[in-house]
């Protein structure tokens, strides 16, 4: 049985947190954040590519909805689905244990780099025609995370 993503993120955060602090000490906060952001975005794109390869075709949002439980496992996210169709997926996250975990670990300042910034990057690898619009996140102090995905059929 694969490790729940929330647990993978906690383990990764333990390592990345130490790396981040070391980079800040040696190169400054801006460079450290840029390095961590770039590395994690690349990992998210690669994860998307792996999920697409496992599926064996270009995915739509029904496929995306089918893998969403991987991110919500172990009550990691509480979500309220607004719309789910092949071309659109909209939902609000009303509780984010990822944000809670990073805060408990003293890593809230880079929580968005560790998790939130993966969301759009994952789509780049999964299906580049998938676009995410989000105006707020719990990680950044919002009351919810408003995920609004659409499939841009003109792309690709």
Q: What is the pLDDT of residue 78?
A: 97
The answer to the question of residue 156 being in a domain is no
Q: How far apart are CA 48 and CA 70, in angstroms?
A: 13
- Count CB-CB contacts under 10 A for residue 36: 20
Residues 6+ apart with CB under 8 A from 70: 4, 5
pLDDT per residue, tens digit, the chain (156 aa), is 678 999 999 999 999 999 999 999 999 999 999 999 999 999 999 999 999 999 999 999 999 999 999 999 999 999 999 999 999 999 999 999 999 999 999 999 999 999 999 999 999 999 999 999 999 999 999 999 999 999 987 755
Q: How far apart are CA 22 and CA 27, in angstroms?
A: 8
Take residue 67 and report the two structure tokens written for it.
């893998």
Structural domains in the chain (count): 1
Residue whose structure tokens are 């995370």: 145
The answer to the question of residue 70 being in a domain is yes
Q: What residue numbers bound the domain in which 15 lies?
A: 5-151
Pairing outcome for strands 145-151 and 88-96: antiparallel
Q: How far apart are CA 97 and CA 152, in angstroms?
A: 30
The answer to the question of residue 135 being in a domain is yes
CATH code for position 91:
3.30.1380.20
The answer to the question of residue 56 being in a domain is yes
147: enclosing H helix or E strand: strand 145-151
20-to-13, 30, 86, 100, 143 alpha-carbon distances in Å: 10, 11, 38, 19, 27
pTM of the entire predicted model: 0.92
Residue 53 backbone phi and psi in degrees, to 5: -65, -40
């Amino acid at each position: 049985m694969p490790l729940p993503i929330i647990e993978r993120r906690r383990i990764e955060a333990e390592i990345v947190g130490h790396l981040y602090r070391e980079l800040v000490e040696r190169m400054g906060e801006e460079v450290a954040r840029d390095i961590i952001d770039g590395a994690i975005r690349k990992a998210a794109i690669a994860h998307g590519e792996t999920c697409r390869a496992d599926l064996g075709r270009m995915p739509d949002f029904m496929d995306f909805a089918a893998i969403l439980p991987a991110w919500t496992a172990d009550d990691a996210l509480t979500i309220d689905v607004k719309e789910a169709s092949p071309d659109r997926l909209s939902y609000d996250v009303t509780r984010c244990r990822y944000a809670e975990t990073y805060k408990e670990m003293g890593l809230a300042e880079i929580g968005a780099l560790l998790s939130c910034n993966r969301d759009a990057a994952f789509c780049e690898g999964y299906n580049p025609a998938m676009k995410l619009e989000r105006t707020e996140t719990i990680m950044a102090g919002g009351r919810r995370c408003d995920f609004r995905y659409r499939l841009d059929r003109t792309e690709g």
